[in-house]
Structure formats: C-alpha cells, structure tokens
Structure 1
Amino acid sequence: MNGAIAVAHYCEGGGHATRMLAVADGIADAGHETVLAGGGPGRAFVEENGYTEFAPRAVDFIRSYQRGNLLVVIEECFPNLVDRVTEYVSWLETHTPPLLVADDLSAAIAATVRSIPYYYVTHDPAGFYTNRLERAAAWLRNRFAALTAERFLLPKVWEGEPTIPKAVEIPPIAPGGGEAVEESVGVLVVPSAFSVDEERLTGAIEATGRRVTAVGGDEWEVVASLQGHIEAADAVVCSGYSTVMEAAVAGTPCIVLPQTSEQRGVARAVDPLRGFHSAETVPEVVDGIERTEAPRGYENGTDRVVEAALGGLAR
C-alpha cells in the first residue's frame, strides 16, 4: 500500500498528543511517512516537535460535564463531536492513508465510515468510574473500538483489573527520551487542565527545602519532550496518565493528584504499586514525595504499538 500512515490524538489536555507523538516518531523511525491530526492543547507540543497537524473541531466532554449537568454536555459537546467526526472523514478522504493509529474515538469513527483499518490505543476501562453514566459511556466507547478496530491496545502500568475485554494489554507508552538535563530538576510538577492551584502546590513543596521545576511556570522553557526532565527529577507530581506512564518508563517516583473521574481511576489503580502514590490534598503530595520510592523498571510500550500497526501494513 502507498500513502502516509495517519496518526490522530484526542484534544483534551496535552497528554494524548505526547503518547501519539511517540508512536508517530516510531513509525517515522521505521521509514514510513505520517500525517498527524488532533488539535487542542496538544497542537503546540506537536508543532514543537517539527510536525504540522490537522486540527478538527475540538470537543471537551470533561470540562462540560464538570460544569454541571448532562444538558450542558448534550448542547455543547454532541454538535462539536459530529463536526469533529465529519472533519476527520474529510481529512481521511484527502490523504487516503493505508491505516490509522489513534487514541481519539472521533478519528476511529471516521476511519470506520471510510473503511480504513485502524489501530486504537486507550487506557480508559469502564472500571475506572463509579458514576453509572460515566461507566456506561466508557463501556460504549470501548465496545465500539473492540468491534471495529484491527487491534485494540491498552497501555497499562498496573496489572489485572481494571481492564478492557478484548483489548491487548501492553506496557506504558512514553517518548523515546528527550535531551539529557544536566541542571537540577528537583521535583517536577506537571499540571493538567484540571490541576489544583499550582502556586500553592509548589510553595508547599519548596517549604520542605526541595527545588521545584514547574512545567509551564514563569521560568519554564518549552521543550520537545519532557522525558529528559522526568528522568532527571527526584519525583514527579502530576494528574494525567500520560505523565504517569512516562514516570514509570523513566523509573522516577510519581505522586498522582487526580482532579477528574478518569484520573481518580488511574490513581486507584497505581496507588498500590511501588513507585506511585495517590494524593487528594497538597499535604498528601508533600508526604508522598518524602516516602515514595522509585518504581520498578517498565518496558516502553511504544514499540508494541508501532509493530502492531506496521504488521497490519504488511498484510
């Protein structure tokens, strides 16, 4: 088959772009061209890595749901979702890729409409959620992918439940590594779109005598990959699962401060593991930094995604 392989990431937060960029880099390293899409906060990070991507209409289910009720989600998100799928369909028609690799359900739906084989990557089991509506939505998302994807890949730091039926479990996904960081990083604070007050958090950590490097802070310079900083850090404080995976691969202690339902599910799953600590408050973060040891070494699952996709390309 001819044509560039399509890679698409979801548009909530920057972590989706991080993991799919790792996949795109792996595909490029294997000698194949790629075209990228996704948009949202991750777009700037994608472009920092030298890629240009298509940005379809953004959808923000989490923020809309947290603002109050289901009516807000229906009125604001579903029209945007339809537009996003439609724009993905047009994008796929333009590029006619031999296959798609995505962690974005909108792109998966568009690929199904266009009869383009796709490989789906997600970490979102229904078991993360205690709310019935959120649990049902996750089950529907995963059921669609299980029925239509060439392969459904589930990157996990934890073992056992929660999991996704019919998904192939793989190690956590992380970039291949950023530039080595020579200066002291101390505690690396990686905020998400739903994080607590970063100034209060960093102030509490600094009060213990530790240096803090805050991603996106006043002294932060944008880098193509955080992996070098994560590897050099004494510990990482984060909310999102992408950073959890990157810390696992780097072997750096990780304190998870969840702010959304999905993040709380991740925190519950990793909290029993060596090298991880779940915190609900700033004092619990400080305590976790002092007593969390380094995690065991984790294989980088990026190669598993690339091998699966390129195996499909060869068929």
Structure 2
Amino acid sequence: MHAPGPGFSDLVPALSAALPELRGRLVANAPLAPLTWFRVGGPAQVLFEPADEADLAYALTHLPADLAVTVIGLGSNLIVRDGGLPGLVVRLGKGFGTITVEGLDVQAGAGAADVKVARAAAEAGIGGLAFLRGIPGAIGGALRMNGGAYGGEVKDVLVSCRAVTRNGSVRVLSAAEMGFTYRHCAAPDDLIFTAARFRGAPGVPAEIAAEMARITASREATQPVKSRTGGSTFKNPEGGKAWQLVDAAGCRGLTLGRAQVSDLHTNFLINLGGATAAEIEALGEEVRRRVRETSGIALEWEIKRIGIPAG
C-alpha cells in the first residue's frame, strides 16, 4: 500500500470495506506520470486495476455514487495535470488485453494495444485493420475518439463493442450506436469500454505486413515517436491540416520551460525532460493563440487533458 500523498486523503480502507469481493488492485495516491507517454502529472487518489469486466462491473455497482471515476488506457493521448486526479482512476490492464480471431472478425479487449490488434489481423490474413499500426495507445481510447490514421478509422471496421456503465450494468453497442464523427464518438462519457469486435476483409498476410511496415517507416520518418510525446496535439480543422497552421504561425521548435513543439512534426508537443504538465498545456495554449492570430482558426485539442492543477 502506498502512503497517502499530501494532496489526497486515503480512500482505500473505506473502498476495500465496501468492496469485499473485489479481485483487482486498489492503490492510494498512485503516481500517474509513469503511466503516461508524456511522463508528467500528479497522482491518482485511488488507482484501480480491475481483474476483468465482471470485476469492473462489481466495483462500479458498489462505489459511492458521488465518487468521481476516470478511465485511462496506455496514456498516449493524455495530459494528467500536476495536481493529479481526485476520485477513482480505472486502468485497464492484462485482464483486458486479449485478442482473438474468428473468420474475418478480430475481438480485442479495450486494454489491448492498437498495434497488437493490427498484427493479429495481419497474421490471420485480415485486411483493413493495418491503419491501427499508426495509432498509439489502446483499443479503449481508439473507440472513445474514433481513432484513425493512414486512411482508416475505427468507424470503418467496428462491428460492436462492450461497455460498463457507471451503475455497473454491461451494454453492447453497435457501430451505429457509437455516433462516430471525426475524432469523436457520441457514446455517453460515463461508459467504460471493455472490448470491441472489428471486421476486416480477406487479405494476404505478406501484403498486409508490408503495408504495416510502410506505416511504421512513415511514422518514424515524420513523427517524434521516440520522444516523450502524446501523439497529435490538435484536431485537423475542416479542410486543413493542424501542423501546417502551427508551422505558418512560427511555432516549429517553440519552447516553454522544458516543453517544446516538435521540430520534426509541428502537431506534436514534446517533454524535453523535466517538463511539468502545466508547461506542456500552456505551450499548447500558446500555439493555439498564435494560430488564431495568424489564421483566424481556433484549433481544438485532440489530446485529452484531465485532473487538477498543482495546488
């Protein structure tokens, strides 16, 4: 058990008493920075790693109704603010990482890495899912934001998905019920996705593998994939490219503290080492201000920013 940090009271004893049949782990004041690609941010008041979907549903059924619940995946598209996250932070781990293939369908847990789903499809000769190789993170995040890259989007291949509601009931949603639009789904915010079924098309494993290799090479040549980054920072405005607007506003290489706009791809922010979440977010806001001044366009954040500022 971690000792409580200065910011949050320890809720674990009370939660453990209220959830006697829980099989997953509860950790008080758990550091979240190591769980995010930016490597910044404060702790979770309570970090919960459920054993499986039934364990998650049990917990949500018996939690106090006023306890805030936040879900994080692999932390790729995320800034956790320096004050951390009050309430319960759910992280879907190994119990949500399974991938199975049935015919042209790929069933994947919400904690499965997008790249692993792409590989499983390729090995099975299922085409149409190679684009997942270009999306950092896990399936749960890809569902929540209709993740897409290199000409494909989740909405193109999703058949259905499973989710647990805040009151602990399990729902199955069809692709149509997800209400997908560009980098967005209309499913209620309190749904925690647990699994998804994708359907591809017949393909040749060697050709799909070659397509994935091209995606990998393109990413490494054009994106700072080996830096502490969070993926694409801003959504592309209709009819335009966010990186071009950022570049035209003179923001390539712009720094604030230890945060920097990537020289390689201007729609990526980087932690140069020792940056705070506040610096990264403030740099993003400065980029938005400069783009608005030079183009009149208000860029929208694609990266999710959660938690409270440092006190």
TM-score, with normalisation over the residues of structure 1? 0.28
Specify the structure having the higher radius of gyration (Cα): 2
TM-score, with normalisation over the residues of structure 2? 0.29
From the two aligned structures, give the one with the greater helix fraction: 1
